[in-house]
Structure 1
Amino acid sequence: MLAAERRDHLLGLLAREGKVVAKNVAADLGISEDSVRRDLRDLAAEGLCHRVYGGALPVSPAVADYATRTSVTPDGKRKVATRAAALVRPGSALILDGGTTALAVARTLPPELACTVITHSPTIAAAMIEHPMAEVFLLGGRIFKHSAVACGAAAVEAAQNVSADICLLGVTGVHPEAGLTTGDAEEAAMKRALAARAADTYILASSEKIGTASRFRVLPWEDISGLITDADPGHPVAEQLMARGVEILTAD
């Protein structure tokens, strides 16, 4: 089989099965595992897969820059944001993560809602200025421009001194095996710090993130209260997660 044919075969497996197991592909095609791993390295270098031990997983489209991500599935993000905003009760304290879906949540919250919003995103804080009844607390630190959020030791320390009723957290990948992931180690640590300060944590994940993975794990499944997504409840990944006991809040 030619290299181009192997490449198409691997991409087809990722699309159909949601993963590639190198030893299985090698056995099926009658080639060495080294050849498969080399092909996967090439695909990963092009941003077409996420390599893991033993094979590869679909790469998340949310690893693109912030400006690009604002145009990715805006309708799905709007649906997720509407469902998430409905969880915020009057008088409650909300920790709101950064990113494009979280920004949609901020814009969806009713202007008359009296609540407290704690965020490490200057973009989110600016959006909340349009909500006269909301108290806004901005956590500071080094700005991670990919998601327009503060990260690092100063931001984590600031997060440890707040508490909230609910945390709405974004991730770049949701996969039954890889878990909840994001593309930067410091951002993953910040997300964990935020989630630890809320009574309930819900994950914001529009459909393009379902079944994909990034490099750094954020949280184990047992540490979240639920997953908010516009993906079809019949999606294979959604079914696997529900079988694990993960509560899925469908946004439609």
Structure 2
Amino acid sequence: MNTSLPLSRRDVIEARLAEGRQIIAASLAAEFDVSEDAVRRDLRALAAEGKCRRVYGGALPLLTPSQPISARIGQETGRKRVLARAAVAMIEPGEFLFLDSGSTNLEMVDLLQKNLEVTIATNSIDIASAVMKRGDIPLILIGGAVNPIVGGSVDASAVAAIEAMNIDRCFLGVCAISAGGGISVYEHADAIFKRMLLKRSASRIALITSEKFHERAPHRIGAAADIDWLIVENDLPETDETAAVEAGFSLVKAGDVASP
């Protein structure tokens, strides 16, 4: 077993929180070769000191700064892919889809069945690149100035392009969600873009990893009535599930949807 003192381990955790990084108890336990209970004790101590927020499976900074998309791609890909499988299973042949910029939506591209005869529109550089690499799906790329945090275009020209579309099914990128605050994002321009996206879409869906129920973001997109489905992780804590349902959100648990 690692003989590092708990105080040393807590210093590492505190430094990572200060950088805006999420703490996963299982990963940290493996890194320090200690039990998850030991890590959870550290997190409880830091939370009591007002230095983090405890969430299911770990902890978050008190206010998580927005990270560029390049930093988010590759994080927690297994969890995101489970959500993506559930999202792909909801798609009907021939639909005009919009995949909003986001690392979870990016996971959907490789999972789409061939011969669905869908068309994909996106404002995401990474999603557009992934669709192009497939070579079998018509692609519309929404242009404009690229926001490095969002990973795509959300400026006035991008909003105008969306306003001229009739989208069958939109997969929205969301940074934070709560019963009282609704769905929110970090960037002001992104919020304006997403409000238009919701307005022009017949079916509106968001893929939500569990920690987003404990995030805070300053720019509100809308409330439960503005989105049709939240695809959530199968082990979403019961308290978060109950709060979301009571707020009016309709949930689909990823583990309850068969893979395509």
Q: What TM-score, normalized by structure 2, do the two folds share?
A: 0.73
Structure 1 gap ranges (5+): 1-5, 18-46, 51-58
Query: Is structure 2 residue 62 aligned with structure 1 residue 49?
Result: yes
Contact 2:52-2:62 within 8 A present in 1 as well:
no
**Partner Cα separation in structure 2 for residue 184 and residue 15 of structure 1:** 24
Shift in Å at residue 223 of structure 1? 0.7
**Partner Cα separation in structure 2 for residue 157 and residue 204 of structure 1:** 25
2:81 to 67, 78, 83: 78
* Structure 1 residues 193 and 164, CA gap change in structure 2 (3 angstroms): same
Aligned residue pairs, count: 210
1:15 to 43, 47, 54: 54
Shift in Å at residue 182 of structure 1? 0.9
**Partner Cα separation in structure 2 for residue 133 and residue 8 of structure 1:** 49
The one-character-per-residue Cα deviations of 1:125-170 (angstroms, maximum 9, x if unpaired) are 1211244442211111110111211011111001101111110001
**Partner Cα separation in structure 1 for residue 168 and residue 77 of structure 2:** 27
Query: Is structure 2 residue 233 aligned with structure 1 residue 220?
Result: no
Superposed counterparts of 1:1-252, under 5 Å = 8-9=47-48, 11=50, 14-15=53-54, 48-50=61-63, 59=64, 63-230=66-233, 232-252=235-255
Specify the SS of the correspondent of 2:107: helix
**Partner Cα separation in structure 2 for residue 219 and residue 94 of structure 1:** 20
Structure 2 gap ranges (5+): 1-44, 256-260
**Partner Cα separation in structure 2 for residue 225 and residue 116 of structure 1:** 21
Q: Which amino acid aligns with 1:9?
A: A
**Partner Cα separation in structure 1 for residue 161 and residue 62 of structure 2:** 35
Shift in Å at residue 16 of structure 1? 6.9
Contact 1:111-1:132 within 8 A present in 2 as well:
no
Q: Which amino acid aligns with 1:81?
A: A
**Partner Cα separation in structure 1 for residue 155 and residue 122 of structure 2:** 14
Contact 1:83-1:228 within 8 A present in 2 as well:
yes
Shift in Å at residue 234 of structure 1? 4.0
Contact 1:78-1:101 within 8 A present in 2 as well:
yes
**Partner Cα separation in structure 2 for residue 229 and residue 148 of structure 1:** 23
Judge which range, 226-235 or 236-245, deviates more: 226-235
**Partner Cα separation in structure 2 for residue 128 and residue 195 of structure 1:** 22
Q: Which amino acid aligns with 1:84?
A: A
* Structure 1 residues 236 and 168, CA gap change in structure 2 (3 angstroms): same
Specify the SS of the correspondent of 1:181: strand
Identity of matched residues, %: 25
Specify the SS of the correspondent of 1:210: helix
Contact 1:112-1:131 within 8 A present in 2 as well:
no
Query: What's the counterpart of residue 12 of structure 2?
Result: none
Q: What TM-score, normalized by structure 1, do the two folds share?
A: 0.75
Specify the SS of the correspondent of 1:134: coil
Contact 2:80-2:104 within 8 A present in 1 as well:
yes
* Structure 1 residues 200 and 48, CA gap change in structure 2 (3 angstroms): same
Q: Which amino acid aligns with 1:99?
A: G
Contact 2:210-2:236 within 8 A present in 1 as well:
no
Contact 2:47-2:54 within 8 A present in 1 as well:
no
**Partner Cα separation in structure 2 for residue 7 and residue 249 of structure 1:** 33
Contact 2:163-2:196 within 8 A present in 1 as well:
yes
Specify the SS of the correspondent of 1:166: strand
